[in-house]
């Protein structure tokens, strides 16, 4: 049974979540209305997987953090508003080859960090916004990897953005190591070890998509109650789509294999004899969400996206929806990370489309002239 309170008070200005005391109170089937995320977590996922109280508490804190981020990104007062909500405000970030962060990235990072800290369940958080992982508490059972606000380069144009997260068990066999070392090693676990992963899409709707290792499920934020409610149970990505998603202004920097693949499916000459359409938002969570719904492939063929907190959590979701995530040669989840901000090409999508794409062999873009937009 859960002993600690499930909700910390996010004091949202526009919608107040109805605080409910304990996860155990959700174990009975909801009598009215759609199933909330809390109710969902109180049920066994499958014969082999049930979500323990500790993990449910952590996810509850994470979803509260994402509701706050949702308010921040949609606020007319922008980052000033976000700054006042965030626990620690912004601050200097060391550059270890990462892109220059925008203010709302930092605000979102602070919100996530503060929610993980107050959950009491997280030993270490590794974020896109921090040069090194942050150690939180020695006996926290979990490790969280996150990109707090992906796609923020487009935020001034109100393009959808997203939070990405992955949850691992803390490796207790490393407990004796110095803090910096165990923080690093805990954060560099292979994707196959993920316990859960998810994203939150901030778009016309705020959607939390999550997998605990048995199916991928999406919940939509009901602004009238402040609850995420189950709207897309057990998502199955269609085995074939008719959409490819890539920044094809880079066509002339692509290797032959990728060009041939795109040329072929555009003309309807691939294994699926229909002409494909292109869709590219340039916001990874939004492009992936559409791909999960409609099928097809979403890709960034150059070494740009990060293995630990982008490719792994998203590939976990795709695999549990019946699709595939790859770097063009290797299954993403099987790659051993060697550094926190490691970048790689990323291809995800419908199983048959991915199979066809990977059969072209030479699809990873090695040329990178340093694009400015």
Residues facing 47 on adjacent strands = none
Task: Tell the smallest beta-carbon distance from residue 284 to ligand FBP (Å).
Answer: 4
Q: Does 283 bind ligand FBP (CB under 6 A)?
A: yes
**CA 133 to mean position of chain CA atoms:** 17
Query: Phi then psi for 33, rounded to 5 degrees?
Result: 75, 170
Binding status of residue 153 toward ligand FBP by CB under 6 A: yes
The one catalytic residue among 55, 62, 149, 288: 149
Size of the site for ligand FBP (CB under 6 A): 13
53 is catalytic: no
Pick one of 282, 303, 341, 342: the residue that binds ligand FBP (CB under 6 A).
282
CB 198 within 8 A of CB 228: no
Q: How far is the CB of 352 from ligand FBP (least distance, A)?
A: 23
What's the rounded Cα separation, in Å, for the pair 143 and 133?
10
Q: Does 284 bind ligand FBP (CB under 6 A)?
A: yes
Q: Is 151 in the site for ligand FBP (CB under 6 A)?
A: yes
Among 35, 70, 109, 300, binds ligand FBP (CB under 6 A): 300
Residue 295 is a binding residue for ligand FBP (CB under 6 A): no
> What is the spatial distance between Cα 262 and Cα 6, in angstroms, rounded to a whole number?
48
> Shortest Cβ distance from residue 282 to ligand FBP (Å)?
5
Of 110, 128, 287, 356, the active-site residue reads 128
DSSP label at residue 248: G
150 classed as catalytic: yes
**In this structure, what is the dihedral angle of CA atoms 348, 108, 205, 14, given to the nearest 10 degrees?**
170
Check if 130 is active-site: no
Q: Which of 95/99 has CB closer to ligand FBP?
A: 99
Closest contact distance (angstroms) between CB of 302 and ligand FBP is: 6
CB of 371 to ligand FBP, least distance (A): 6
Question: Tokens at residue 111, please?
Answer: 């919100």
Binding pattern for the stretch 45-84 against ligand FBP, x by CB under 6 A and - elsewhere: ----------------------------------------
Site for ligand FBP in 155-214 (CB under 6 A): none
In the complex, least distance from residue 268 CB atom to ligand FBP, rounded to whole angstroms: 25
Q: Look up 149 and say whether it is catalytic.
A: yes
Q: Is 279 in the site for ligand FBP (CB under 6 A)?
A: no
DSSP letter, residue 51: -
For residue 193, the SS3 value is helix
Query: Would you tell me the crossing angle of helices 103-119 and 53-73 to the nearest 10 degrees?
Result: 150
Element (H, E) at 256: helix 256-266
Q: Is 251 helix (H, G, I), strand (E, B) or coil?
A: helix
Question: Which positions ≥6 away from 306 have C-beta within 8 Å?
Answer: 128, 147, 341, 342, 343, 344
8 A C-beta contact, residue 73 and residue 202? yes
The burial class, CB within 10 Å (0-12 / 13-18 / 19+), for 103 is middle
> Among this protein's residues, is 222 annotated catalytic?
no
247 binds ligand FBP (CB under 6 A): yes
Indicate the SS3 state at residue 273: coil
CB of 98 to ligand FBP, least distance (A): 8
Between 140 and 296, CB nearer to ligand FBP: 296
Q: By CB under 6 A, name the one of 304, 331, 339, 341 that touches ligand FBP.
A: 304
Choose among 293, 260, 290: nearest CA to 278.
290
In the annotation, is 361 catalytic?
Answer: no
Nearest to 163 by CA among 339, 293, 314: 314
Q: Which stretch binds ligand FBP (CB under 6 A): 60-68, 134-142, 147-155, 326-334?
A: 147-155
Catalytic annotation, residues: 99, 105, 128-129, 147, 149-150, 310
Q: Which residues lie near ligand FBP (CB under 6 A)?
A: 99, 150-151, 153, 247, 282-284, 287, 300, 302, 304, 371
């Amino acid at each position: 049974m859960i002993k600690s309170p499930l909700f910390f008070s996010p004091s949202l200005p526009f919608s107040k979540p109805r605080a409910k005391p304990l996860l155990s109170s959700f174990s009975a089937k909801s009598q009215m209305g759609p199933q909330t995320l809390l109710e969902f977590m109180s049920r066994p996922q499958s014969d082999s997987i049930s979500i323990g109280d500790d993990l449910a508490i952590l996810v509850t804190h994470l979803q509260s953090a994402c509701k706050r981020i949702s308010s921040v990104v949609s606020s007319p007062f922008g980052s000033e508003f976000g700054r006042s909500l965030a626990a620690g405000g912004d601050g200097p970030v060391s550059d270890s080859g990462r892109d220059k962060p925008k203010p709302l990235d930092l605000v979102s990072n602070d919100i996530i960090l503060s929610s993980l800290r107050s959950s009491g369940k997280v030993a270490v958080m590794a974020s896109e916004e921090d040069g090194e992982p942050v150690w939180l508490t020695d006996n926290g059972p979990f490790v969280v990897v996150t990109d707090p606000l992906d796609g923020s380069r487009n935020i001034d144009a109100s393009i959808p953005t997203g939070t990405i997260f992955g949850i691992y068990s803390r490796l207790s066999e490393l407990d004796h190591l110095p803090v910096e070392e165990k923080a690093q090693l805990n954060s560099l676990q292979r994707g196959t070890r993920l316990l859960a992963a998810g994203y939150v899409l901030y778009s016309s709707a705020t959607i939390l998509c999550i997998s605990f290792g048995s199916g991928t499920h999406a919940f939509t934020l009901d602004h009238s109650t402040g609850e995420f409610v189950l709207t897309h149970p057990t998502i199955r990505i269609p085995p074939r789509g008719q959409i490819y998603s890539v920044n094809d202004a880079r066509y002339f920097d692509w290797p032959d294999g990728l060009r041939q693949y795109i040329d072929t499916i555009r003309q309807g000459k691939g294994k699926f004899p229909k002409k494909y359409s292109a869709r590219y938002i340039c916001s990874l969570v939004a492009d992936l969400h559409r791909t999960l719904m409609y099928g097809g492939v979403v890709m960034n063929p150059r070494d740009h996206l990060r293995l630990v907190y982008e490719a792994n959590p998203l590939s976990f979701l795709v695999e549990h929806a019946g699709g595939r995530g790859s770097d063009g040669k290797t299954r993403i989840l099987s790659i051993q990370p060697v550094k926190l901000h490691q970048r790689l090409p990323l291809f995800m999508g419908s199983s048959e489309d991915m199979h066809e794409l990977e059969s072209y062999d030479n699809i990873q873009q090695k040329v990178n002239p340093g694009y400015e937009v």
